[in-house]
Amino acid sequence: MSQSNEWQRIIRGIILSISLAIAVFTIVLFLASIIQSLVIVPTNNWAYSAITLLSAVSYFIGVTQLLYIIPLIIVFWRQRRFALMKGVIIGAVIVALVNFGCFLFVMNQLSR
């Protein structure tokens, strides 16, 4: 494999990982807005726990990405697509670091 071809596959893996994180975040926000738009009697605990769960997933997207990144890495490893696997790992680390930075920013703003 040529050096430029490997870099292209690494970049594709990074883009894939970041795109999946954006897709998961969008789906979670869409589901949360649907649940909140339902007319729910305050005694229904399932609705509040569902909103809490969806909020946690969107808030900790760096941690929940492990649910889809690890199987993706295993598939790429079995297919011997190591450059794409490296890109997915790099993209997952980038998403986790951005999430952690945003988490620290929000916590700093809330503590004032």
- Tens of pLDDT along 40-92? 665 566 666 766 776 677 677 777 888 999 999 999 999 999 999 999 999 99
Residue 10 buriedness (CB in 10 A; 0-12 / 13-18 / 19+): buried
pLDDT at residue 1 in the model: 58
pLDDT at residue 18 in the model: 94
End-to-end CA distance of the chain: 53
- Residue 20: closest CA among 62, 49, 59: 62
Cβ neighbors of 92 (< 8 A, separation 6 or more) are 17, 65, 69
DSSP 79: T
